[in-house]
Amino acid sequence: MTVAAFFDGASELLAGEDDELLFCGAQPLSRGAFRQRVRALAARLPDAPAVINLCERRDYFITAFCAASLRGQVTLLPPSRAPQAVAEVATDFAGALRLGDGADIPCDLRVDAVSADGVLPGGLPVNAADLAMMVFTSGSTGQPSAHRKTWGALRHSDAINQKMLTRLCGGAAQIVATVPPQHMYGMELSVLLPLLGRFAVHPGRPFFPEDIARALAECDAPRLLVTTPVHLRALLESGVALPPLAGIVSATAPLAAELAARAEVRFGCELRETFGATEVCILAERRTARETAWRLLEEVRLQPESEGTRVFRPSLPEPVMLADMVELSADGCCFELRGRQADLLEIAGKRASLADLTRRLQAIAGVQDAVMLQQEADAGGVRRLLAVVVAPDVEDAAIMAQLRSATDPVFLPRRIIRVDALPRNETGKLPRQALLALLDKAD
């Protein structure tokens, strides 16, 4: 299929035959039965320009997403389901409906209260040029911002993801995802992947290791686990047994090579880490246990610049500038990540990145979680380094001694702040505002 074909005319937002599974697990659902549920919900949706999809369960989320698309309503995906984040989006998009699947978050319509039996043949049509969603960045580097995604753009990037994961799994797999569908990574690999291809997905969103193992056991082989470094570490430390996996995919936060290698040995499959951003979707992958360089996906081109990296791909209406600094290979097909422009430090003529310093801090035995950050400039213009750690069984002196052996002295933290837990969001990221609020309390 040509690139232009993804962006022209009408298409279907659900692939596959009526009897093929869309949802796997203890309560499987065919694609034909799913179409019936989508039509039933679409008939109940009030007129509105957009919907805010707050559904926790993946099957309800996907049903609401497709019903809104069928009605020509744009789906708005806040950076989190926190009341303040939702309220900010609702304020900016007057008249948007709030769709949910439980009583924990106020909504205008409960998706779980609408059901339908039977099989509906035929399609769920959408136009390639239609706006499918507006997704908001996580705010990990500042204020969240909105990004528009058309159906044509989503179909194009999904086709490349389908190829990448088919190579990993050897064919269409049954997916269990620990990430929320509202996050772009979760949207790509647990919503669009089954909707637009032949993958099936577990309807829930397991969080604890035992829940993840149970969900995987409910699925048939080949199984694909879509997860994050936080969940991977929890799985390894829990000792829980998982059924055979065809592959694991990780994203949302940097994955340590040591953790990736342990996961491959323990779970007997390859682990692929993906690199992407809300603005540009997944653009590269690597087998982190064995390589440091990222391989660009098809039709993605990068242009390093002084302020970051410009991304070119057919699914983008125009090139997008990311804050990440990269070093391209000679053929332009791979790159090494060198941190972010705002992340780079220069002290006494020496250079380092906060990301690399954080990685070294997290690698210390007994440190359960940690982040290195730079304070705002004081009255004298000095920006001091701080280490925020979750390490109940390791003394400050031991942490400093380990850092001193691995880091230039000018980049040692001037203070170690101990906390019970870092304020990570549901995808494992550290929103900057939440981290600063934590420091204010610590002071």
92 vs 149, higher pLDDT: 149
Q: What is the pLDDT of residue 342?
A: 66
Average pLDDT, integer, range 410-439: 82
Cβ of 272: how many Cβ atoms within 10 Å?
A: 22
First vs last Cα of the chain: how many Å apart? 58
**What residues form DSSP beta bridges with 407?**
none
pLDDT at 87: 84
Give the per-residue pLDDT at 378. Answer: 64
- Fold topology of 348-442: GMP Synthetase; Chain A, domain 3 (3.30.300)
Give the pLDDT of residue 351.
Answer: 67
User: Between the ranges 104-118, 282-296, 350-364, where is the mean pLDDT highest?
Assistant: 282-296
pLDDT at 139 over 60: no
Sign of CA dihedral 237, 240, 244, 246: negative
Torsion angle of C-alpha atoms 440, 424, 307, 183, degrees rounded to 10: -140
Residue that wins the pLDDT comparison between 126 and 345:
126
The pair of structure tokens assigned to 32 is 């034909």
Nearest to 211, CA basis, from 186, 240, 237: 240
Cβ burial, residue 111 (10 Å; 0-12/13-18/19+): buried
How far apart, in whole angstroms, are the C-alpha atoms of residue 213 and residue 221? 14
Query: Can you read off the two tokens belonging to residue 66?
Result: 């497709």
* pLDDT one-digit tens code per residue, 175-219: 999 999 988 999 999 999 999 998 999 999 899 999 999 999 999
> If you average pLDDT over every residue of the chain, what do you get?
88
Q: Which residue has the higher pLDDT, 254 or 282?
A: 282
**What is the average pLDDT across 411-415?**
88
Q: Where in the chain is the domain with CATH 3.40.50.12780?
A: 3-339
Q: What is the pLDDT of residue 208?
A: 93
Report pLDDT digits (tens) over 223-248: 999 999 989 989 999 999 999 999 99
Mean predicted confidence (pLDDT) in 360-374: 87
Q: What pLDDT score does 352 carry?
A: 75
Q: What is the pLDDT of residue 65?
A: 97
Confidence of residue 372 (pLDDT cuts 50, 70, 90): confident
Per residue in 280-316, pLDDT (tens digit) is: 999 999 999 999 999 999 999 999 998 899 999 999 9
Residue 373: band (very low, low, confident or very high) from pLDDT cuts 50, 70, 90: confident
Two structure tokens written together for 117? 């039996």
Q: What is the pLDDT of residues 40-94, one digit of tens each?
A: 999 999 999 999 999 999 999 999 999 999 999 999 998 777 777 788 888 888 8
Using CA atoms, how far apart are residues 287 and 385, in angstroms rounded to an integer?
32
Amino acid, res. 322 = L
What is the band of 1 on the pLDDT scale with cuts at 50, 70, 90? low
Domain with CATH 3.30.300.30 in the chain: 348-442
Q: How far apart are CA 403 and CA 442, in angstroms?
A: 22
CATH number of 3-339: 3.40.50.12780
pLDDT at 442: 65
Higher pLDDT, 158 or 338: 158
User: What does pTM read for this prediction?
Assistant: 0.84
Looking at residue 379, the DSSP 8-state letter turns out to be: T
What does the alpha-carbon distance between residue 186 and residue 345 come to, in Å, rounded to a whole number?
Answer: 32
Amino acid found at 441: K
